[in-house]
Amino acid sequence: MDKTPYTLEVLEKLRKNSHLAKHTHFTSAKRGRSSHVMVGVPVILINLLLSSVFSYQLVGDGQVFDDEKWVFALLALIGACLGAVQTFFNFQKNYETHRALANRYLAVARECERVIASYLDGNIDLKEVDDNTKTLNKEYDKINVDAESFPTSDRDYQRALKKQNEKDNFGPSLLEASSRQ
């Protein structure tokens, strides 16, 4: 191939951006899942402990824990605070949505790869590549709008960038490989 058409370069950039966004949202989802577990498990354990103690108080003689009531009151307060944090931040919905967004970005990246491969194999012409690029750009923009309510952190982005750079070291993309021939 003499010179790579600009339309293919645009599609390749869209593919790379989609992969980067995918990695960023998967990283954010992983962080959100960890937060969900870190807050959720203590809530469950504290509530199990307290319900066991209160059940014993109701059924048993109730004398054993009289001196430790402040400990159980403090545990109840901590459990309620952690439950409120979990409800407020809605970790589960957040990480599930980040994963869904990442998968949508991945679908765009894969379709970009398919279109590039079809062009390089001679199955479609540049006009069809252009039409597909317009459609994929619209889908990418729609995902970006949907992702505005689920921001990622700079740290998520840096980790995603590192992962993307590691991936790039495995070998050139289809377009990069074809331009070297």
Query: What DSSP string runs through 83-111?
Result: HHHHHHHTHHHHHHHHHHHHHHHHHHHHH
The answer to whether residue 124 is domain-embedded is yes
At 66 the pLDDT is 61
The answer to whether residue 157 is domain-embedded is yes
For residues 126 and 122, give the distance between their C-alpha atoms in angstroms, rounded to a whole number.
Answer: 10
Residue-range definition of the domain harbouring residue 58: 6-180
For residues 75 and 54, give the distance between their C-alpha atoms in angstroms, rounded to a whole number.
Answer: 12
Chain centroid to Cα 31, Å, comes to 8
At 43 the pLDDT is 80
The answer to whether residue 1 is domain-embedded is no
For residues 150 and 161, give the distance between their C-alpha atoms in angstroms, rounded to a whole number.
Answer: 19
At 106 the pLDDT is 96
Neighbouring C-beta atoms of residue 120, cutoff 10 Å: 16
pLDDT along the chain (181 residues), means of 10: 84 95 92 79 79 66 62 75 79 89 96 96 96 97 96 93 86 80 66
At 4 the pLDDT is 85
Stated pTM of the model: 0.75
Residue type, 20: L
Count the domains in the chain. 1
At 79 the pLDDT is 80
